[in-house]
Every structure is written in structure tokens, then in C-alpha cells.
Amino acid sequence: MREWTREERYRVLQDPEEIREIYDKIAGTKYRQIFHVQPVTGLSSDPNGFAKLGDTWHLFYQWCPWGAVHGLKYWYHVSSRDLVHWKNEGIGLKPDTFYDSHGVHSGSAFVKDGEMYIFYTGNHRDEEWIRTPYTCAAEMKDGKPVKLTEPLFGPMSGYTEHQRDPKLVWNEEKQKYYIFIGAQTAEKHGAVLVYVSDELLTGWTFAGELKIPGYEDFGGMWECPSVIRLSGKDVLIFSPQYTKLPGRAESTNHTVYIIGTMDYDTLTFTPETGYRYLDYGFDFYAAQAAGSNLDEDHAAVIAWIGLPDNHYPTAEIDWEGSMTIPRVLSLKDGRLIQEPVRKIAELREEEIPGDSSLPDACEILIRFGEEACDLSLFADLEGNGGLRITADPEKKVLTVDKSGMELSFNKEIGEVLEVPLDRELEDMRIFIDHCSAEIFINGGEQTFTAHVYPTDVEHNYRVNADAQVKIYTMKPAVTDDFVI
């Protein structure tokens, strides 16, 4: 893996032509995707500023132009009418002020009275490399974010430098706006800080630390908190890090949710369930719910296919990381159900005959019979190896093993993960797009997302005899043009 100096990682992009060569090198290569948002060059990580303004969805991603490395971050902007077809719009926010001199870090968007507002973390470092995070805002004007000149507020004392990722929430009952910030306490525990205001862009004051009984010592930092209201309940989604959690092998980066009740008077989130993983896969992080719900019972969410400490085979040619397919969240029986956005089905091109090999971009629908599930995707010409997915109906556990794939990566955090099932395995919907697989299990009761890099010979599949399988090739839905 290439070593990057600080200068290289924090190099400012002065002119788009400086990265054209990187774009030319990666465009059209083997693992570029056709229906996922992916970085135009370099690295994409967290989804940011996800909201619908008029009839257009806006989405940004954390972007480092130079290669597969976390350095000086920009917000790169994409847009869509249907959450399926995405268009490159160029840079949304660049690090060009004192407050965000060392990166425009993650944040959210909110739409009110036909205007879209953006909240983000300005990452400033001084000459001694001491970091000061600022909570900043921007307004969408003519389809592009325009920054406010001053931040809404600076860091809160008594916490470490890790304070970031503002998520704005309107509370109807209190008629107030709240900003939730991912943070780390002085004792190095993950936390959420809450700010309150009557106005969107002024008057912000610190309200306190969110109390979540039972979660006082749960990971060392919480990134990207998102709070949504679904079917009369509150759902807190966040990414705890610096801790290992059960069922996550050696990984120390996770994305979880808790269903409960949010009391804005006492700033207490009372859990009504234990935490669950939003996704059980190897590569899923920093999920963000859209700025407003689709309706009272449904919210759109999107996440990064990747993890903070991981790198992937395409790093060699200076790109990695993509966004998940947008998912629709709903609540059922005390848990979140996740379904791919419905219109994704419009990308189905043709159903392929049962004995064909796996296309690079496809949707697979499987209905399981009585037999134990034994499925291999990306097996070699002899039907061996690949991504092995097995489930023992008695144990109600699905096991996903990627150790049979020829290209291995991030081995040290584990190559086998288990997904606990609440009932027998009935169905799967799998989306494959060149270097990713997203698996929706039992109608979206569980999901499993992973990067996979099948080689030219790893294009076969095997499914146990009594399962019904349909495979559709998929049409392209994202532009991959050089728009900076």
C-alpha cells in the first residue's frame, strides 16, 4: 500500500486538471460501478447533506480527490430525481475558509419552506496540528451550497477535539430546532451533544449531553448521529468506534440503531430495545437519514460502503469507496426494516437463464425451500470458492464467509460474519455492482453489505437445489463523467 505524506494528503485542489490524469486512469476500469454513487477520483466516504429540494434529491459525499486516503476532505455533490439515477454535479463545498481549512467534514441538510440548509463540521488545525472543530452552515442557492461567513458555534469545553457531524432535527412539540453532534467525553467515551435554537441559522446554544441510559460506556467516539421519527417512535442511528462489539469479529467501527423515546425536556433518549446493527456486513458505515421523512412511516437512508480503517484493492489505482443504494426504513415489531428504494427495480434489464454466469451488475432474487441455505456467489469455473453464504434453519444464523475469494483485503478484521435471523430464512434480494454486494434478507429484516472484487474467473454461482432463483442484469444509472 502506498505511503502518503501529510503534504500529499492535505494538498489543495487548485485546478480540476490536476486530477484529470487520475480520472483517465480509473474511468472504465473493471471495478467501476454502474448503479452506485462512487468517487469521481480518489476516495469517497460518508454520505452528507442528503435531502430533497423540490423534485430533486441532493447528496454529497466526503471526498479526497488524490487517492484512496483520508486527507483534506471536500463535499462532492450528486443529484437525482428518483434516488436511482444520479448525476455528477461537481464540488459542493471546498475547504477554503479559516474554519474548514483542514477539511469540510460530515454533516446533514434540512429543507424548510422550499429552501435547503446545510450543516457541516469545519475542521481547523493550527500550526501545531491542534484541531478545532466548528459547526458551520450553508444555504443552497441556485443548486449550490453557499457558506455562511461565521460558524454557528465552536467546540464545547469538557470534551475532546472529537466533536463533529451535525444533524439538524425540528421538534414540532417544542417548536425548536436541535443539532445533534457526535462527540467524545474527556474520559474518552462516545457521546452525543445537543444544541438548541428557535432559528435555523442563528441563536444556537448548548443544551446538554444526550442521556441514553445504559450507553454511558459504549465505544470511544460516536460518529454521524442521526435521529429520526418513524411511526410515532424515535430512532437513533450512530457509528460507535474504538470498541469491538459482539458478532463483529475484530472490527472496531460499527453502525447501530436504537428504538426509543426522545424527551427533549430532559434530553434523554430512553431505549425501548437493545441496540441492533443497521447492517451486518463487512463494509457499512456512517449511515445518514434524509433531512425529512418520505412520510410518517418511512425515511430514506444511505451509507458508505466502507469502514474508516479499511482499504480496498482499487486503492492501487487511486480510488475506493461508494455509497449504498438508498434504502427505505420503516418500523415493524420493534425493529427497522430496510428495503432498497422501490424504483431500483426499473433498472432490471433482462432475466438471464439459470445456467449463465453472474453478470457484473445484477439483481438476484432467491426464495428458499426447506433445505439449509448453501449459496456461493463469485465461485470459480469449477464452482469452488467465492463468497459463501450458509444458514442452518435450526440455528437461525446466516454465515457469510469471504475467505474463498481470490482477492482478499482487510483480513485482520475478520473474513467471516454471522447474521442472527429472527425466523427461518425465506428470501434474499441481492444487488451486485462490480465491486459490491448488498443483501436484503427476509424482506429487509436484516441486511449485509460488503465490497467484493471478483476476478475474471470468479463469475459463477451455486445455490442449493430447492431454492428458486431469478437473476436480472442491471442497466446503468449513475453518470461517471469528469465534473469537478
Q: Does 108 bind ligand FRU (CB under 6 A)?
A: no
Total of residues contacting ligand FRU (CB under 6 A): 13
Minimum distance of ligand FRU from residue 219's CB (angstroms): 13
Minimum distance of ligand FRU from residue 121's CB (angstroms): 5
Q: Which is nearer to ligand FRU, 117 or 238 (by Cβ)?
A: 238
Q: Does 106 bind ligand FRU (CB under 6 A)?
A: yes
Residues 408-424: b if buried by 16+ CB within 10 A, e if exposed: ebbeebebebbbebeee
Q: Does 425 bind ligand FRU (CB under 6 A)?
A: no
Q: Does 46 bind ligand FRU (CB under 6 A)?
A: yes
Q: Does 363 bind ligand FRU (CB under 6 A)?
A: no
Q: Does 121 bind ligand FRU (CB under 6 A)?
A: yes
Q: Does 308 bind ligand FRU (CB under 6 A)?
A: yes
Contacts (CB under 6 A) with ligand FRU, residues 155-194 = 164-165
Instruction: Pick from 62, 97, 255, 447 the residue near ligand FRU by CB under 6 A.
Output: 62
Minimum distance of ligand FRU from residue 116's CB (angstroms): 20
55 an active-site residue?
A: no
Instruction: Pick from 36, 52, 77, 105 the residue near ligand FRU by CB under 6 A.
Output: 105
Instruction: Pick from 100, 223, 363, 438 the residue near ligand FRU by CB under 6 A.
Output: 223
Which one from 46, 165, 234, 279 is the annotated catalytic residue? 46
Q: Which is nearer to ligand FRU, 290 or 432 (by Cβ)?
A: 290
| Active site members | 46
Binding site for ligand FRU (CB under 6 A): 45-46, 62, 73, 105-106, 121, 164-165, 223-224, 286, 308
